[in-house]
Every structure is written in C-alpha cells, then in structure tokens.
Structure 1
C-alpha cells in the first residue's frame, strides 16, 4: 500500500461533488474505461480520526501509523467493498482528485455520518493500513466523494485510487 507524505494529509479535502464535477475525468485503469461498479479487492474502512499523536507513539488496535504521526481512530463507520465508479481528474486549480461514487446502499449511511462530522478527519484504511486521512469539508449527501489536493500529481492520484480499489 502507498503511504502518502504528511504534507498532503494536512490539506486534503473530502468534499461533496456533483454528478457533473468540473475537470476532465481520467480512468484509473483500463477496467475503469467501462461504466459500472468497481469491486474493491479488500474492504475499504472509513474510520473517524480521534487524534494524531507524534511519530513513535505507542500503537495498538485502534492506532494507525501515518507519515506524520500515529492516528488514533474510532471503529469504522462501515466497510465499503463496491463503488459505482472510481476515477481521477485534474481540478480547475491544476491539482488532481480521486472521485468515488458510492452505491445507493452506502450513500444514506455516508450522508448521515458526514452531515454530523463536518470539519473532522476520516481515515481511509485498506487492509489495516492508513492510506490517507482527509478532512470532511461538507456533508456528502449524493454519494459522490472527492479526495483532492493541489499538490496531487496525476501519478499520486492514480496510485491512491488503485490502493483504494486494490
């Protein structure tokens, strides 16, 4: 799995986006050229971040090592194994973003949770490893999730998308 640099985690956004988000969609793999669901090879856990301790702090079952410290996390709000769509796109500001479209059965759960936790971090965990812990910028009610950063390159965005889906 990919560990992203600490500087990215500090400024990442987890924000709602519309069905017609601006930018040019770029598939994450040849398989993404087709429309339809993408099955993650390993369940994706979304775990609320309780605190971030300095690097080298003691770890345990609810502590995940990140590049910039040890993330103390709450239990997962759910395991996500299927996405309606996964892709990357260049943003209007020149950075890159990962776009995830949740299936209808996950959309309501995610909408309810994000509406109560705006301004908090949510760890994206795959196979017990912290991939990234973006900040929730607004309630995500339509199931369209965008993780973006002006520092993301196309390669960084593609690598993160591949890590999420396996």
Structure 2
C-alpha cells in the first residue's frame, strides 16, 4: 500500500510565512538600530591627541565677543576699569580699538583643530551669512593697511584674546586663526571665545 502524498497542515502553512516575516522585521530593526548607532557615534568632535574633545560651540555670551580694528598697540597695562576704546591682552600689550564691527551673535561655531598635513594648530570660527558679509568688509579694509593698522582684535569680556594681522579679505564665513600655537593654546583660545 502506498502512502498518500505529504500535505502540510493548514496551521503550519500559516505559521511559516508569519515566522519568516517576523524574522525579517527583527533583522530590519537590528539593521536600523545599528545604523542609528553609527550615525550617532559619527561626529567631527574627534578627541585630540590628549583625548580631550575639540571645543565646538557658539559663544555663551554673544555680546561679550567683539571684533574690532586695532588703532594702536604698545606695551602697557590697562587701568581698572579700562577706558572705553582700550583693552589689554595677557602678554602685556595695550590696544586702542575702533568700534565694534561684529560681535559674537554672528558666530555659529568655534572649534580648535590641527592641520596634520602642514603641522599647525588653529582655531576656526564659523559666521552666519550676515556675519560673513560684515567680516569680509572689515578684513578687506584691514588688508589694505600696514601694521599695526592691519590687526584685528578679538575681544572677550574686555580683554584682547587674539589680535592677528589680516593679510587679505576673508570671505566664505570661515575664519581661521593661526600662529605659533600648540594644542593647549588653541584649545584655551577657543574656550575663551565660547565662554
């Protein structure tokens, strides 16, 4: 006697596709979960050589950050409080400054970094569109001057934290401050600007 051909039970045929669909949903959830984790972990705030993240923020007190022309600079100290239009730095320089032409309300990001190709440290300041235009106008005018009239003071809470010379008009809203900096100096400068 021959056996009848195998026929799956109705319950089993319904369960098999449901198990396959359930497995695919679970696999999709795992893939999406992994992708979200990768996206969340991916960031430009890579630790520096010492393991500390680069400073990356807006100024906490935007009006306390000012961009001003340097009218004169000489060794000296500031009276307390400093007279209007003057400010000192931590290196013993006294600056006579022009009006505030741009403030921290136009700064969208400040970060320190290292150019490994050319081996130098820098602070990068990103400006909003209005700040980009104001800064281009200011640096275009400063670039036509001779030292010290081509210096741009970055003043934070009444102290000059940097006074770089301007060699050319800076457009594009990306301001990079370079100099004889090491990592600690650029991180300190970025923190001073962000507050």
TM-score, normalized by length of structure 2? Answer: 0.62
**Which structure is higher in helix share?**
2
Point out 4+ residue stretches in structure 1 off by more than 6 angstroms: none
| Pairs within 5 Å for 1:33-44 | 38-43=57-62, 44=65
Higher relative contact order (CA 8 A, sep 6+): 1
Matches within 5 A, 1:11-90: 28-29=54-55, 32=56, 38-43=57-62, 44-56=65-77, 60-66=83-89, 67-90=91-114
C-alpha RMSD over aligned residues: 2.3
Describe how 1:89-108 pairs up with structure 2 within 5 A: 89-91=113-115, 92-108=117-133
Q: Figure out how many residues of one structure are paired with residues of the other and give that number.
A: 135
Q: Residues 27-86 of structure 1, C-alpha deviation per residue, up to 9 Å, x if partnerless? A: 524xx3xxxxx3311221001000112324775211112224211111111212253332
Name stretches of at least 5 consecutive residues in structure 1 with no aligned partner: 1-23, 33-37
**Structure with the greater alpha carbon radius of gyration:** 2
Q: As a proportion of its length, which structure holds more strand? A: 1
Does the 8 Å contact 2:112/2:124 carry over to 1?
yes
